[in-house]
Amino acid sequence: MRGRWHHARHNVGGVRHKIAGVLLAAGEGSRLGGPKALVEVAGKRLVDRGVALLRQGGTAPVVVVTGAVDVPLLGVIAVHNPDWRSGMGSSLAAGLGALPDACVAAVVALVDQPLIGPGVVQRLIAAYLDGAGIAVASYDGKPRNPVLMARDEWAGVLALASGDVGARPYLQAHPDRVTAVECGDIGRPDDVDTPEDLARVSRVLAAAGQAPAPS
C-alpha cells in the first residue's frame, strides 16, 4: 500500500480508489496584507505549494477553492466561493461539491501551511487504505491539518460545518470515526497569518535549502 504514490488511483483488492485533493485558498489575508493564495514563500506562491502538496502526495483531481481573489491555475478544478467571507465552512462545501462522483475520499488542506509536505498526505492515504474513514494529521499528538475524509462522511461534516470551523465539530462529535496519523517527524502545521509568520516560515524553508533567507 505504500508503493508508487504518484499514481492518483489506489489499488486495493483489485478495486481502484480515486482520492481527490481539496485546497482551501479563499481567505483575504487581512493580517498578512493580501490574499494568502498569492503570497510568495521562498519564491513560490502559497497556492502553488498547496497544489504541489496534494498532487505529489497522491491525490487527483485537485480542487482549489478561491474567494477573495481569482487565482490563475492550470491542471486543477478551480471553484470560486462567493460566500468566502462567511468562513471555512462554505469553502469546504464548495470544494467537496465540485468533486466528481468517482472520488471515494478527499484530502482537505489549507493554503497557509507550507511546512507540510507530500509525505503527510501519503500517510493519510495509507490510513484510508487501511480502513480509516477519517484520517487527521497530528503533530506531537495534536490534531491539525490536512484531513482525509471518505465520501460517506462528507454529508455529516458539512451539516455541522459553519463559520470558520470546517470539519472540526463533526470530528469532535464522532471521535470513534477519527484515526490520528502522527506526522510530527515529517512536517509542521505552522500557519502563515502575519508578516512575522511569513518571515519565520521563510527562514525554515531557507534552512532546508529551498531559498535564501530574506534580508
Domain boundaries, the chain: 9-185
Its pTM stands at 0.90
**Averaged pLDDT, 98-108:** 96
By CB atoms closer than 10 A (0-12, 13-18, 19+), residue 104 is: middle
C-alpha cell at 83: 460566500
Could you read off the pLDDT of 137-190 as tens digits, one per residue? 999 999 999 999 999 999 999 999 988 888 999 999 999 999 999 999 999 999
Could you read off the pLDDT of 18-28 as tens digits, one per residue? 999 999 999 99
Topology of the domain covering 9-185: Spore Coat Polysaccharide Biosynthesis Protein SpsA; Chain A (3.90.550)
Q: d(Cα 120, Cα 139) in Å, to the nearest integer?
A: 10
7 or 135: which leads in pLDDT: 135
